[in-house]
Amino acid sequence: MTPAATEVGPKDPVQILTPDGQRLPHEIYDAYLGDVDEDMLRGFYRDMALTRRFDQEATALQRQGQLCLWVPLRGQEAAQIGSGRATRPSDYIFPTYREHGVALTRDVSFSEMLRLFRGISGGGWDPRENNFHMYTMVLAAQLPHAAGYGMALAMEQRGWDEEKLAAEGNAVVAYFGDGSSTEGETHESMVFANSFNAPVVYFCQNNQWAISVPFEVQSKVPLVERAAGYGMPGIRVDGNDVLAVLAVTRWALEHARSGKGPVFIEADTYRLGAHTTADDPTKYRMTEEEAAWAPRDPLIRLETYLRENNIVDDDFFEQLAKDADQMAATVRKDAMAFPVPPLAKSFEQVYAEAHPLIQEELAWHLQYEAGFADSGDNA
Amino acid sequence: MSTMTLAKAITSGLDKVLESNDKALLMGEDIGKLGGVYRVTDGLQEKYGAHRVIDSPLGEAGIVGSAVGMALRGFSPLVEIQFDGFVFPAYSQITTQLAKMHARSEGRLTVPVVIRIPYGGGIGSIEHHSESPEALFAHTAGLRIITPSNANDAYWMIQQAAQCQDPVIYFEPKRRYWLKGEVDTETPALDAFKAQVVRGGEDATIVAYGPLVPVALAAAEAAREEGRSIEVIDLRSLSPIDFDTITESVQKTGRLIVTHEAPTFGGLGGEIAARISERAFLSLEAPVLRVGGFHMPYPISKVESQYLPDIDKLLEALDRSFAY
């Protein structure tokens, strides 16, 4: 069964768990949740809770002057955990810069992630280890990369039969938001990926706000409606419903992997906090709106479901809170302990091959800095 | 040895690249069936297939951005931007993404993308088809920029660009595409990132690159008739710039003229003048002079000959240098 945009209904987001924690049957997507047992459900909650705790700790670190900046994700945990858990380790992920939850699903170290925000690395983690690309600050610039990576995968997978594609085919997931959706590079990426049937899942977290600009300014129609214009299936999903997000992303990855080309997912969610730690949402949005979204919190929803179905007890939450605090303490300790690399290191990283200007400037820099070494003024 | 036009030398070089590296591929607008608007990729799609010589959708940011993605997967894309003035939709991808990927990843990721751009004027065309935007890219660390001026260099330098692990912009002097020259397909040319003294001389040095190298050589020949011995350096690499070769020449001649089609203000000539004044101040008999374009959008083609550096302008600059 193929849930194309028309079948699912772009204006009718896929929902499996209602905001009050009731599980709904779904004629298409239940088949993509067959393996979801109690352990997995507890795992999803744990992933979301750890991500939220990490986000809280990083926000605190920034407020304490220990990070240059932080990009909070509170409210978007289900969209990120659900989609991230649908991927295979061999799939390649292009995040924007708020995908800390996806990073968790890829086993990227939270501590390592703070190297970027602490100002001691331009990237932070090794993208090759977990197939999780560096964050990209220039909005949507990563989307053409995702198309190209997908085109490369399509070339590698040329001539594979259906069975081999399903078993071993790789795909790309490209994350972006409602703000990035209007960038020209988003358009070009989608044209390229569709023209070459690249296995790319475009995962848009529509969190309703591009810093201070509301969604209505980005688009007159739900973004998912744009998918048809590129010739790809579009699925709109309740982005605060971890099960629905998992199911639709699994479907999308299966579709992409099979050589049928890209898929567009629009996940409706809400950024409960600020855009970044430098932002002040009280200047542009109504507290009534925030209050209206608060009960749709993805963690509350799953907690209700888990409790009502006796999948968890109070001990589970107590233990999880302890684990999360311990994780946060470790992250804090690691972040504070990261050594600051000398500027000399930066010279080495500009080019992969020897470069005379770099060598000349590095030699000058080292000599200049060495002039201070004996003066005793360093303190 | 065989005689080829500069354009055909690039075609042959690209052929070698595709033949020797199965991860190499070409992508750009109209480069497949048509063979490119200048036919530089003519016949290559037929030989290597549409999956290795890719006719892309029309979108420069998409072309460069998807090439970055391919490189991240281990491919070596060589992409074509159809004309110099059309590179700007890809400017963000080139300067914010391609140039910085290696540094941002602390040296973990390499993105060996080659961007071919036909550049320069003198072809009697309309706007955005005659520009020389090299300085805009040279200012960005992480990129390497080279430009051949003859068929032999064109053949070898495109192959050297393809082998380089850093991103390389390969500017093609489009008004010299039909310039014929001997190509030695056995002996590799000089390192692509080195300058070359293409005419020895004692009295003054002219540094030129790309389309103006033949102009500089002709000016040197004209000056010889006036009894002056002019050394001509073909810069070849615009980033990095081989300042050692220029310094050595200026220490001998004491006079330096730098010429390029790009506007003089903010151009590479200023950088060369500054560096040489630091490195060879006491050898200089006159200030370093620049012969470049005016501070204006590239002019309408009916008057472009008054804009472009030519033999007379170089001779006038030499006169000023000698009169100093």
Give DSSP secondary structure letters for A178-211.
TTGGGSHHHHHHHHHHHHTT--EEEEEEE-SEET
> Cβ contact (<8 Å) for B70 and A191?
no
Altogether, the residues listed in chain A come to a count of 379
> Cβ contact (<8 Å) for A351 and B241?
no
Mean pLDDT of B118-143: 97
**Chain A residues with beta carbon closer than 8 angstroms to that of B59:** 188, 191-192
Interface with chain A: mutation pick from B104, B109, B113, B166, highest number of A CBs within 10 Å: B104
Q: Is A16 on the interface with B (CB under 8 A)?
A: no
Mean pLDDT of B98-102: 98
> Cβ contact (<8 Å) for A123 and B108?
yes
Phi first, then psi, for residue B33 (nearest 5°) are -60, -45
Interface with chain B: mutation pick from A130, A230, A350, highest number of B CBs within 10 Å: A350
Please report the pLDDT score of residue A7 as a whole number: 44
Using omega within 30 degrees of 0 as the cis cutoff, is the peptide bond preceding B240 cis? yes
Give all strands of the β-sheet with B114-119 in edge-to-edge order: B53-55, B24-28, B76-80, B114-119, B168-173, B144-146, B237-239
**Chain A residues with beta carbon closer than 8 angstroms to that of B65:** 141, 143-145, 147-148, 185, 188-189
What's the CA gap between B229 and B260, in Å, rounded?
21
The nearest alpha carbon in chain A to B194 belongs to A356
* Maximum alpha-carbon separation in chain B: 60
> Cβ contact (<8 Å) for B109 and A127?
yes
Residue type at B303 in one-letter notation: V
CB contacts < 8 A, A to B, total 139
> Cβ contact (<8 Å) for A144 and B110?
no
> Cβ contact (<8 Å) for B69 and A145?
yes
What's the CA gap between A322 and A329, in Å, rounded?
11
**How would you classify the pairing of strands B180-183 and B2-5?**
antiparallel
**Chain A residues with beta carbon closer than 8 angstroms to that of B69:** 144-152
The H or E element spanning position B126 is none
**Chain B residues with beta carbon closer than 8 angstroms to that of A143:** 65
**Is B51 one of the annotated active-site residues of the chain?**
no
The nearest alpha carbon in chain B to A137 belongs to B96
Please report the pLDDT score of residue A5 as a whole number: 42
> Cβ contact (<8 Å) for B104 and A184?
no
Q: Is A351 on the interface with B (CB under 8 A)?
A: yes
The answer to whether the beta carbons of residues B97 and B65 sit under 8 Å apart is yes
The nearest alpha carbon in chain A to B76 belongs to A152
Q: Is A140 on the interface with B (CB under 8 A)?
A: no
Mind listing the pLDDT tens digit of every residue in chain A (379 residues)? 444 444 444 468 999 999 999 999 999 999 999 999 999 999 999 999 999 999 999 999 999 999 999 999 999 999 999 999 999 999 999 999 999 999 999 999 999 999 999 999 999 999 999 999 999 999 999 999 999 999 999 999 999 999 999 999 999 999 999 999 999 999 999 999 999 999 999 999 999 999 899 999 999 999 999 999 999 999 999 999 999 999 999 999 999 999 999 999 999 999 988 888 888 888 888 888 888 898 899 999 999 999 999 999 999 999 999 999 999 999 999 999 999 999 999 999 999 999 999 999 999 999 999 999 765 554 4
Q: Is A339 on the interface with B (CB under 8 A)?
A: no
Residues B38-69 have pLDDT tens digits of 999 999 999 999 999 999 999 999 999 999 99
Q: Is B69 on the interface with A (CB under 8 A)?
A: yes
Q: How close is the nearest chain A Cα to the Cα of B94, in Å?
A: 10
The answer to whether the beta carbons of residues B143 and B136 sit under 8 Å apart is no
- Statement: residue B313 has pLDDT above 70: yes
Facing residue for A147 by CB, picked from B66, B109, B142: B66
Facing residue for B93 by CB, picked from A123, A141, A155: A141
- A42 Cβ contact list (under 8 Å, min separation 6): A306, A311, A312, A316
Q: Is B139 on the interface with A (CB under 8 A)?
A: no
Residue-range domains of chain B with CATH = 2-183 (3.40.50.970), 196-323 (3.40.50.920)
Indicate the fold that domain A5-337 takes in CATH: Rossmann fold (3.40.50)
Q: Is A344 on the interface with B (CB under 8 A)?
A: no
What does the block give as tokens for B153? 């260099």
Of A252, A183, A259, A272, which is closest to residue A219 (Cα–Cα)? A183
> Cβ contact (<8 Å) for B68 and A145?
yes
Q: How close is the nearest chain A Cα to the Cα of B75, in Å?
A: 7
**Chain A residues with beta carbon closer than 8 angstroms to that of B74:** 152
Q: How close is the nearest chain B Cα to the Cα of A36, in Å?
A: 32
DSSP assignment string, B132-194: --HHHHHTSTT-EEE---SHHHHHHHHHHHHH-SS-EEEEEEGGGTT-EEEE-SSSPPS-TTS
- B101 Cβ contact list (under 8 Å, min separation 6): B68, B72, B109, B110, B111, B142
Please report the pLDDT score of residue A97 as a whole number: 96
Where exactly are the structural domains of chain A? 5-337, 343-373
> In the 8-state DSSP scheme, what is residue A17?
B
- Statement: residue B194 has pLDDT above 50: yes
What's the CA gap between B260 and B233, in Å, rounded?
13
B contact residues 5-44, partner A, Cβ 8 Å cutoff: 25
**Chain A residues with beta carbon closer than 8 angstroms to that of B51:** 155, 158
The answer to whether the beta carbons of residues A79 and A54 sit under 8 Å apart is no
Average pLDDT over chain B, rounded to whole? Answer: 97
Mean pLDDT of B315-320: 98
Q: Residue holding tokens 């011995």?
A: B229
**Chain B residues with beta carbon closer than 8 angstroms to that of A151:** 66, 69-70
Cross-strand partners of B289:
B257
Of B311, B314, B292, B316, which is closest to residue B121 (Cα–Cα)? B292
Question: What pTM does this model have?
Answer: 0.96
Q: What is the per-residue burial (b if ≥16 Cβ within 10 Å, else e) of A162-182?
A: eeebeeebbbbbbbbbbbbbb
Please report the pLDDT score of residue A9 as a whole number: 46
Backbone φ/ψ region at A261: left (φ over 0), alpha (ψ -120 to 50), beta: left
The residue from B51, B128, B129, B260 that is catalytic is B129
Using 50, 70 and 90 to split pLDDT, how confident is the model at B1?
confident
The answer to whether the beta carbons of residues B166 and B196 sit under 8 Å apart is no
The answer to whether the beta carbons of residues A145 and A94 sit under 8 Å apart is yes
Q: What is the per-residue burial (b if ≥16 Cβ within 10 Å, else e) of A25-51?
A: ebebbeebbeebeeeebbebbbbbbbb
Please report the pLDDT score of residue A287 as a whole number: 86
The nearest alpha carbon in chain B to A155 belongs to B51
Residue type at B9 in one-letter notation: A
Q: Is A190 on the interface with B (CB under 8 A)?
A: no
Cβ atoms < 10 Å from Cβ of A115:
20
Q: Residue holding tokens 């004027």?
A: B121
Facing residue for B68 by CB, picked from A126, A148, A184: A148
Q: How close is the nearest chain A Cα to the Cα of B262, in Å?
A: 22
- B249 Cβ contact list (under 8 Å, min separation 6): B197, B205, B231, B233, B256
**Chain B residues with beta carbon closer than 8 angstroms to that of A191:** 57, 59, 62
Sign of CA dihedral A36, A37, A43, A44: positive
The H or E element spanning position A223 is none
> Cβ contact (<8 Å) for A192 and B56?
yes
